[in-house]
Structure 1
Amino acid sequence: MASRNPLRAYEHATIIDVTDVTGRPLRPDQTVLVDGDTITAIGPSAQLPVPAEATVTDLSGKYVIPGLADMHVHSESGTDDERHFPAIYVANGITTVREMWGKPLLHEWRRKVETGASLGPRSVIASPLVDGSPALWADISADSPVITATTTAEARRAVGEAIDSGADFVKVYSRLEREPYFAVLDEAAKRDIPVAGHRSDNVPLAEQIEAGQRSFEHVHGLWPATAADTGRFEAAMASIAPGQGIQYASWFKQVNDIEWEATENYSAAAASSLFERMVAADVAYCPTLIMHTAVDLPDGIVFDDPRLSYLPPDTAQMWEFVGEQVFRGGGRDAIETARRITLFGRRLAAVAALDEAGVRLLAGTDAVTPGLFPGFSLHDELELLVRAGLTPLRALRAATIEPARFLGRAEKTGSTEEGKLADFVVLDANPLDDIGNTREINAVVLGGRYLGAEERDALLATASAIAAAHG
């Protein structure tokens, strides 16, 4: 067990209040007292008494934001070492992750973090994927399990298996048929476990929203429900039949063709109606825009990025295969390439419309998609949210307080307030001036443990060594 963290005082900080509704989120010259793993007091530095036994850290000129949450990750580097991905997350200021493909190893990692045997973010873990037949990952090598549910009995059993595995929620996938999909939702409601994941190709999105699915991932399932002739495009989704070759590549190609035509027939009225349903049902959306840059714009993947040193040596080779065979489906002509560039711009516009409508947005990356890096890519996602039209504060909320509220943890995490867990990030520059400043990390505080530049460098060095040894 880790020893209790000492009493600490962080003086003269500018706190960014992500819960602010007054239009004045900056709280300058504040002192934050942390006892053990909890923030015990916050107040003006000139007024808040600091106990003599406290270790004092001067944060003059620094900005404090809550610990960040990446709400769509896949910690599957192949090293099976709990010091690898968790260390990279923490070094990047990420104190919460939502693991979107459950497997026993992730539960083992979580147990070690919770007992203090290992350092890592707080994690929320999905069930194995629950998909139809053939499952999209059936012919691609993956080290995580897939549950195939083609009947209502199998669907209900899948929920029980998820609970027995210790999963925090059931992850549904794209090829679930109508009856199994609704059976999953019904059984999950009876057994009080949330459902999140992809939309089903076989059920209109509006019905899924009102059936109780708590969050939807990625933008590529949105468009049929926002077209003028919604019924026609939802029917086209239901008619998708992955063909020869790699199932995922075939599915992607068919979805993308439907996306293009649906966006050409976009209806603001249909979109507004859909988004109102999301708000009424308290459904969250995790757009993973950084993932869509890889899928829509694979020519932008950089194969000599220095951050590859934190991943196994064969990573670039894997990226090339997935980019060519899955994303491009073996090749794209000039017309499709141009369409995908346009589609990405439309994804940005859709996220802005979701935000304007009041839909809860969750920042997530889908790392380890080719071109993405665990931890680092969340900062890219925040920049894309701002590029889409969110203010920097709204983007920060999507990675802090909104995930906490979605997970039912807002009483303990998601903002820097008295009584909450001491999970926060100290920045050298103001992210409200430039969201890219979330990368300017001076220190990370995780559960009251202070990790300055030296400690963060050590975490990244360990991750790099583990990755190199895996090769």
Structure 2
Amino acid sequence: MRPSTLASLLLPAALYAPALVLAGAPSVDGALALDNVHIVEAEDNRVSPRRCVRVEGAGITTITAAGEPACLRGARAIDLEGRYLVPGLIDMHAHLTLGPMEIKRERGRAVMQALPDDEIAEHNARRLVAFGVTTIRNPGGDLHAAARYEARLAAGELIGPESFNAGPVINNADLPGLATAARNAEDMERVVGAQVEAGADWIKLYTGLSPELLKAGIDAAHRHGRPAVAHLESIAWPDALAMGLDGIVHLMPLSPDLLTAKQRAAWQATARGSTYSFFEWWEHFDPEGAHADQLVAAYQEHRPIFDATLVAFHAAFVQDQDNAYRDDARRHAHPKLLAHWNEWFTFAIGWQPEDFERARAVWPKVQRMAARLYATDARMTLGTDMSNPWIAPGISLHREMQLLAEAGVPNARLLLAATRHAAEALGAGQRLGRVAPGFEADLLVLDADPLEDIQHTRDIHAVVLNGTLLTAAALNQLKGE
């Protein structure tokens, strides 16, 4: 990030908090020392004694006891007064560049599209950083838009998280801006190759693919040296993992093969399809039953990368009520997306009052299944499905952690999922996700201990992005406040 870009953010904030901003100003030739701070050691479910963390350039160079001259010497020192330090958060399911879903007429028929929007991407990027999200995985979108974002980020023209990108999801039909069709194995090889050529870090496979095409996609991704992740419904997750699938997204299995014969018959007799399946399937699935055990065993054996995105579904389940997601969206979503969700596009189109009641009734089942999966040795991460209905940038990752904590997932496990384990899943575990010498200085300073209450991840005192400290005043400016 160029100093001129950061100055444009910090200097106006200096009018409101001159001492704080000056103390946290970027050190061009020297170092930054974050002194008198507890490091949250989630691996051991504890916090360290007070430490001094020295940052030079964009990296952590030294960690000592608080006040040690070796850490402070020649550095711009910040006394954090016993606050708490965690790695920058990672949202593994953030559609950074996605614009509104639109319907247009083409040759006499309706065609859906979800074209990228650079203005929305910049808006999302700033708010992600403001809420402590310093890295994302964009699990499906336009690679040209992703490249434009990365170029502007590298040039210092905007402030935002590092992004690991998949191309358009590969499905059985085209949806401009979001999905590319592959109707046979040759198509799959061509599409995967083109995405890798365009810079894809991941290959995202989707619900409409047959088992044969899913396997072809996994194999093509691996031939090109890329992991394959999938959003699946009809294909049972254990079967897909046995094919070599690297990751799964969304805690919505929705496969008839994960129901007993009796459960399957009951579900299919009344199933309406579409998003009604978000609760209708769960009415028949038993999270303590044999098929749930099979799912847990598959996670334990294959250790997939997984993000539950509970927040995306819970936001739909409470859409008929006043709720925090609407408030978040009003404050932090881009106006184009907010208008789009208010006008028509939600995950609960057509739902009646009784549908919302049924959805909320199955929510404890979803929670129990989440807790079981997050207790496995799988590579569990966190994601939000940002830019889909009512999922505002940044704040939604904190709500995801809260939902999983309410499901019974331990706070230390959640912090690891949002940091170290996510970094390892991205193939960047050697440089991201830890507070340690040699790691990049993407950090959060918190006012309270998140191991005691995961909601303390929202109590952000400051964010370090690429080695530069952004104070509370600067973060508020990123939020537009």
Q: What is the TM-score with the length of structure 1 in the denominator?
A: 0.85
Closer, same or farther in 2 for the Cα pair 1:304/1:227, shift >3 Å? closer
1:209 CA displacement: 0.9
Which residue, 13, 36, 41 being the options, matches 2:57?
A: 36
**What secondary structure sits across from 2:285 in the alignment?**
helix
2:239 alignment counterpart: 207
**Contiguous gaps of at least 5 residues in structure 1:** 243-249, 465-471
Deviations 1:186-227 (A, max 9, x none): 1112111111130152x3321101112221111111665553
**What secondary structure sits across from 1:154 in the alignment?**
helix
1:245 alignment counterpart: none
2:405 is the alignment partner of 1:386: yes
Q: Is the 8 A contact 1:279 1:360 kept in 2?
A: no
1:345 CA displacement: 1.6
Q: Which amino acid aligns with 1:253?
A: Y
1:374 alignment counterpart: 393
Distance 2:233 2:191 in 1: 16
1:99 CA displacement: 0.7
1:358 CA displacement: 2.9
Greater mean deviation of Cα atoms: 306-315 or 364-373: 306-315
2:300 alignment counterpart: 279
2:140 alignment counterpart: 101
Q: Which amino acid aligns with 1:80?
A: D
Deviations 1:432-458 (A, max 9, x none): 121111111110001101101222122
Which residue, 289, 308, 311 being the options, matches 2:330?
A: 308
Closer, same or farther in 2 for the Cα pair 1:442/1:197, shift >3 Å? same
Which residue, 67, 71, 75 being the options, matches 2:88?
A: 67
1:252 CA displacement: 2.1
1:270 alignment counterpart: 291
Q: Which amino acid aligns with 1:208?
A: A
Q: Is the 8 A contact 1:170 1:195 kept in 2?
A: yes
2:44 is the alignment partner of 1:11: no
Q: How does 1:235-384 map to 2 (within 5 A)?
A: 250-254=273-277, 256-263=279-286, 266-300=287-321, 302=323, 305=327, 308-322=330-344, 327-334=347-354, 336-384=355-403
Closer, same or farther in 2 for the Cα pair 1:366/1:124, shift >3 Å? same
Closer, same or farther in 2 for the Cα pair 1:447/1:5, shift >3 Å? farther
Q: Is the 8 A contact 1:294 1:300 kept in 2?
A: no
Q: How does 1:379-418 map to 2 (within 5 A)?
A: 379-418=398-437
Closer, same or farther in 2 for the Cα pair 1:313/1:422, shift >3 Å? closer
Closer, same or farther in 2 for the Cα pair 1:231/1:204, shift >3 Å? farther
1:2 alignment counterpart: 2
Query: Would you say how many aligned residue pairs link Structure 1 and Structure 2?
Result: 437
**What secondary structure sits across from 1:395 in the alignment?**
helix
**What secondary structure sits across from 2:166 in the alignment?**
strand
Distance 1:311 1:290 in 2: 15
Deviations 1:49-68 (A, max 9, x none): 23532100001121111100
Distance 1:256 1:457 in 2: 38
Closer, same or farther in 2 for the Cα pair 1:179/1:132, shift >3 Å? same
1:272 CA displacement: 2.4
1:97 CA displacement: 0.7
Greater mean deviation of Cα atoms: 188-197 or 422-431: 188-197
Q: Which amino acid aligns with 1:96?
A: T
2:220 alignment counterpart: 187
Closer, same or farther in 2 for the Cα pair 1:148/1:441, shift >3 Å? same
**Contiguous gaps of at least 5 residues in structure 2:** 4-27, 101-116
**What secondary structure sits across from 1:261 in the alignment?**
coil
Closer, same or farther in 2 for the Cα pair 1:37/1:353, shift >3 Å? same
Closer, same or farther in 2 for the Cα pair 1:278/1:120, shift >3 Å? same
2:118 is the alignment partner of 1:80: yes
Q: Please, what is the CA RMSD of the aligned residues?
A: 2.8
Distance 1:339 1:152 in 2: 40
1:247 alignment counterpart: none
1:467 alignment counterpart: none
Q: Percent same amino acid among aligned pairs?
A: 28
Q: Which amino acid aligns with 1:93?
A: G
Q: Which amino acid aligns with 2:151?
A: R
Closer, same or farther in 2 for the Cα pair 1:413/1:228, shift >3 Å? same
1:80 CA displacement: 1.6
1:430 CA displacement: 1.3
